[in-house]
Amino acid sequence: ARVPVMMASASSETLFDIFMDILEPLGSEVDVVLETSHNSNNGGHADLYREHIDMPVLKSILWEYEELLLNDGCTGLAVLNPAVPQEVQFDEHKMLIVYGDPLDSFEAILAERGIEHKQDMKFITEAEHVHSSSDKFARSFDEMKVHLGMDGTF
C-alpha cells in the first residue's frame, strides 16, 4: 500500500510547539509508541505501546518531558489514530514525520507556523551517525514511561 508521508523540521525554539500543534488533527483519543535506544549495544531500539490515551492527558505528559524529547538522541515517539489512520512521529533525530491520508490539515498547521513546503528538500537520515544520551535522560525516560502507563523494561 502507498501511504502519503510528509517530513518537517524546525529550530529547537519552535520545534516542540509545532509538534504539539500537529497532534490536534489526530483526534481526542490516540495511541502512543515510545521508542528507545537507551542501553542498546547493537544500534537497535525497543518500542513501548500505549493504547487509548486522551489527547489532553498525553499533551500534559509530553510538556512535562519537553527537555527529554528535544535533547535526548535515544528517545522518539509516535502518536497515532488507528481509526483514521494517521500518525505523527517525533523521532530520535528530532524530525517530524506525518503519515496518512489526507495530510491537508497537517500541511495547513505547518504553513501557519511558517514552515514552507519544499518538494526538493533533502533529509539525511541514513548517513553514519551516533545517538547520544545521558544517565539523566535515561532516568527521565523511565519516569515518562511510567507516566504514560507503559509497562516493561528496555
Q: What is the pLDDT of residue 92?
A: 86
- Of 132 and 120, more confident: 120
Phi (first) and psi of residue 5, to 5 degrees: -135, 150
Whether the pLDDT of residue 130 is over 50: the answer is yes
Query: Taking the model in full, what pTM does it have?
Result: 0.88
Tens digit of each residue's pLDDT (9 = 90 or more) over 68-123: 999 998 899 999 998 988 999 998 888 999 999 999 999 999 999 999 888 888 77
Whether the pLDDT of residue 154 is over 50: the answer is no
Tens digit of each residue's pLDDT (9 = 90 or more) over 8-20: 989 989 999 999 9
Long-range (24+ apart) CB contacts under 8 A made by 85-90 are: 86/25, 86/26, 88/19, 88/22, 88/23, 88/26, 90/19
Residue 143 CB neighbour total at 10 angstroms: 13
d(CA 73, CA 28): 28
Q: What is the mean pLDDT of residues 133-147?
A: 89
Whether the pLDDT of residue 1 is over 70: the answer is no
Q: What is the pLDDT of residue 40?
A: 62
Whether the pLDDT of residue 129 is over 70: the answer is no
Q: What is the mean pLDDT of residues 37-65?
A: 87
